[in-house]
Amino acid sequence: MHTARLELAAVTEADVPRLHELSADPRVWQHFPSGRHTSVDMTARQIATFTQGWRHNGLGYWTATVRTTSGFVGVGGCALHDHTFWNVYYRLHPEAHGNGYAAELVEAAVSAAAVVRADLPVVAYMVEHNVASRRVAQRFGLQLVWRGPDRANPDPSAQRLIYADRVLTPDQLNLVIAS
């Protein structure tokens, strides 16, 4: 699949080296430092989950490269969570920030999720101080549906924001909060 500027390919085990380099970069984790990958094995386990999603659901996260240069931009897309909602996710190299690549990736992801399972909500969640991620979610019509403590964050003051393309059922919301 591709966008105007990006080539998108399903994440595979062959992507471990470049995804580990991305996921181990502390600049990528400014908003959630404890999420930084500290070992290649950690990245390999994450990629195994990503590839399983593709096999089971027909959609998942992509690697993104610039079509004209083949330069690696990052990873992202939509993955089905618990057969209940699509999780929009992206993580880009700091050098790629500010170029609109996240918006292209999210637009492609939301469109793909609508083709595969339009009956399920599209959800994006982030820490409150990640203003850039909030802007991307809002740009694609996602609305704030919840704000509260980020239970997965070691910072007890961290607040999580949950955006969705529709009203979530209580069960869906509880699953997203627990993610």
Give 80-133 pLDDT, tens digit per residue: 998 999 999 999 999 998 899 999 999 999 999 999 999 999 999 999 988 988
Backbone angles phi, psi at 92, to 5 degrees: -115, 150
As a whole number of angstroms, the distance between CA 62 and CA 91 comes to 11
Backbone angles phi, psi at 85, to 5 degrees: -155, 155
Q: Is residue 63 pLDDT above 90, yes or no?
A: yes
> What is the predicted pLDDT for the residue at 30?
80
Residues 6+ apart with CB under 8 A from 66: 5, 6, 7, 73
Q: Are 141 and 165 in contact (CB under 8 A)?
A: yes
Domain definitions of the chain by residue range: 6-178
Tell me which CATH code domain 6-178 carries: 3.40.630.30
Query: Which of the four pLDDT bands, split at 50, 70 and 90, describes residue 32?
Result: confident
As a whole number of angstroms, the distance between CA 116 and CA 122 comes to 12
As a whole number of angstroms, the distance between CA 151 and CA 175 comes to 12
> What is the predicted pLDDT for the residue at 165?
95
> What is the predicted pLDDT for the residue at 179?
83
Query: Which of the four pLDDT bands, split at 50, 70 and 90, describes residue 174?
Result: very high
